[in-house]
Structure 1
């Protein structure tokens, strides 16, 4: 294979969104691409890295935690805002397994089923306000629903939710801008989220109630030697931060990108309205098509070969999820938006392995609820020009700040 002369840190590549054409070429010519340390790479992420572009290599990396450790963190750059925190996303088994076993109680099929009535009620109310007004700001729904549901899960008092949602939106905007280590005024909303998490944790430990945050705050986790321990406060704080950001941004991005895809493909709207059997598969097609998280990062624990490329021990390995979700070897017409696509083995939730997304079922329920309310109660939908922070090597997510819509019943 001929290796293309390419610098993935070139800002021009990312200016208009994810560079699909570039990664289509890489899948064909350099499925595992070694990004050398150019001046731009040094400035943005400080070190060389290897990028997996195919579905097969991405799933292999994510399912082999012994060879590819999660302790490198979710981003490429070495700057780690949370160096003093232990995050479940950055742990390998067995430490990860012990914590996940407790946390996953909030995301079992039974737990999500209990939440579904509330999800649909909130979606009905939020979309209903847009319908009554003939349109408005769709981001208010796409971001508002998941943060409300997270509030239900962790027991955020109703009177605090608008404040917490505002903080999360500010943090998402700053994170998407690729600010690296925030300083000065940029640091304030980050600190306020952690402060709120600290106060909520202390309250739940003093007065536990019937919600998952009380369970996490009071749970006794068994260690290898049979002893038990409680999750330390700083670990709970970083999990609150991750849950709030990941839980709101991923659904927001999927819904906004998904709505734009539907409007660009009106035959798919018509199909959704007329054929109830495709509505379930439509949700996963929205998630594949949007790929809310662009990439994850792992570290090689030993010398390893992927697609004929030697990766040295200690290397940073980037799994480019968006590229995997456009892999021609796995998906027929991968750039088409097809709500009847089955099977749909997308890697948006991680592609399996220990770190497969805890909230996958919850995200599906939220997206389905909004799509039903929006598509089944309108005769026409128009979307305006979005205001969006695109992903880059510094930020692995898209953040929709605005997506105006016009709705006709």
Structure 2
């Protein structure tokens, strides 16, 4: 599989993709026990300039037909018809309702929660001297933040983690061993997360518990509120986008800091002064979401290539974040890189990542805690990659460090 090859080989293929005219990748069809998945084929936009153009023109390039190259059966809409797969006015309505929940009180709660959880996560591993950095550290922070934000009990955190792995890692045998049961497994995970969110939402009716679910089920914005189905889809989006993408940015961050000890030293010597640019560079180089798809609403052109109404257009963020026309030495990891106009959180416009600010804070705070407490932490093997063309993910990453005492013992 292309994505399972060594990073240097993948980077060379991406370089060739950027150097070519707009490329059409042919489709395929997968037949499962429940239904079939059809991928009709798509134009791959690999350079930054046309990605920005497409992102800024939602009246031409729609998200409503789906954001992956696959056309899933209609049953998927019940669980996965989220805000990222909508056009205005539906998209604007949902974004407005969700954004209203992020009150000053909620934002303050999140700020404190990120710092507290990062400290606790390091406490949990610091005496061991080794860990699986993905499952023990990188995945723990965004998972706990998302669940805390939505009022999910701690007893259900691992359940949310496992179900989100199935949804985004459905093509990986570690998460869905029987490929023929892929559709069944993904639908089952979506149903399970929907039921969990519905149970939590029901318990929040008339209750001010300080979490986002409590706000969204009780408050109205201009006489409207989210339906239960919309709330469940939003939670599933958070469990995937808010959890998986941040965990992979943090995981790739350790990979590149291990590979580039000079950059690690530069950041460690002036952590706060470089934290912003280092975080942006981690997001650029990691590009946790490899691509998102749009569908042409009318005949148009991209870089002189005719695009017909109904054609799929793939915005390849990972590839564009290495665009030689935009970034000097794009394959270099430079924690002081400036400017850094990456699309690691998607392109500009209405679909720019709603959680970008939170993701940036999680990355920064997690590495601050690591640098200050177990500063010599480093990867000891190549990352075990997720088998996915959609998520640029790491499943496992062994790491070692000098053991220290937890803060609770100090």
TM-score band, normalised by shorter chain: 0.7 to 0.9
Match of residue 408 from structure 2: none
| Contact in 2 for aligned 1:300/1:312 (Cα 8 Å) | yes
Whether the aligned pair in 2 keeps the contact of 1:155 and 1:212 (CA below 8 Å) is yes
Per-residue CA shift, 1:159-213, capped at 9, x if unaligned? 3333333433444433656959835566543321121112122222353532211
- Give the Cα–Cα distance (whole angstroms) in 1 for the partners of residues 374 and 263 of structure 2: 14
* RMSD of aligned alpha carbons: 2.5
Structure 2 match to 1:7: none
C-alpha distance 303-184 of structure 1, shift in aligned 2 (>3 A): closer
**Equivalent in 291, 296, 315 of residue 300 of structure 1:** 296
Q: Distance in 2 between matches of 1:138 and 1:269?
A: 17
Q: How does 1:2-401 map to 2 (within 5 A)?
A: 11=1, 13-16=2-5, 19-30=10-21, 32-37=22-27, 45-80=38-73, 82-85=76-79, 86-106=81-101, 111-139=106-134, 140-174=136-170, 182-184=182-184, 187-205=187-205, 207-222=207-222, 228-276=223-271, 277-385=273-381, 386-392=383-389, 396-401=390-395
1:294-334: per-residue Cα shift (whole Å, max 9, x none)? 00001111111111111011111100000110001111110
Instruction: Give structure 1 stretches of 5+ with no counterpart.
Output: 1-10, 223-227
SS in 2 for 1:273: helix
- Secondary structure of the 2:18 match is helix
Contact 1:119-1:369 within 8 A present in 2 as well? yes
Tell me which moved more, 398-407 or 15-24. Answer: 15-24
Please give the secondary structure, in 1, of the residue aligned with 2:292.
strand
Contact 1:106 1:112 in 2 (8 A): no
Segment drifting more, 67-76 vs 151-160? 151-160
Alpha-carbon spacing, 1:328–1:48, altered in 2? closer, same or farther (3 Å): same
**1:380 is paired with a residue of what secondary structure?**
coil
Q: Is 1:408 the equivalent of 2:402? A: yes
Q: 1:48 to 1:363 in 2, by over 3 A?
A: same
The superposition leaves residues 346-386 of structure 1 with CA deviations (integer Å, 9 ceiling, x where unpaired) of: 10111211010011010011111111111233453331333
Match of 2:406 in 1: none
Residues 176, 397 of structure 1: 8 Å contact kept: no
Structure 1 position 137, deviation (Å): 1.8
TM-score (ref. length: structure 1): 0.87
Distance 2:95 2:184 in 1: 34
113 and 180 in structure 1: CA distance in 2 versus 1, 3 angstrom threshold: farther
Deviation of the 1:16 alpha carbon = 1.4
TM-score normalised by length of structure 2: 0.87
Alpha-carbon distance change, 79 to 341 in structure 1, aligned in 2, over 3 angstroms: same
Contact 2:169-2:387 within 8 A present in 1 as well: no
Q: Per-residue displacement from partner, 1:222-241 (whole Å, max 9, x unpaired)?
A: 4xxxxx44322212111111
Q: Is the 8 A contact 2:82 2:230 kept in 1?
A: yes
Contact 1:298 1:316 in 2 (8 A): yes
What is the CA-CA distance between 1:387 and the residue it aligns to? 2.5
Q: After TM superposition, give the deviation of residue 110 of structure 1 in Å.
A: 7.5
Counterpart Cα distance in 1 of 2:158 and 2:20:
48
SS across alignment from 1:231: coil
Distance 1:115 1:198 in 2: 22
* Closer, same or farther: CA 106–283 of 1 in aligned 2, 3 Å: farther
Q: How many Å separate the matches in 1 of 2:253 and 2:215?
A: 34
Could you say what secondary structure the match of 1:147 adopts? helix
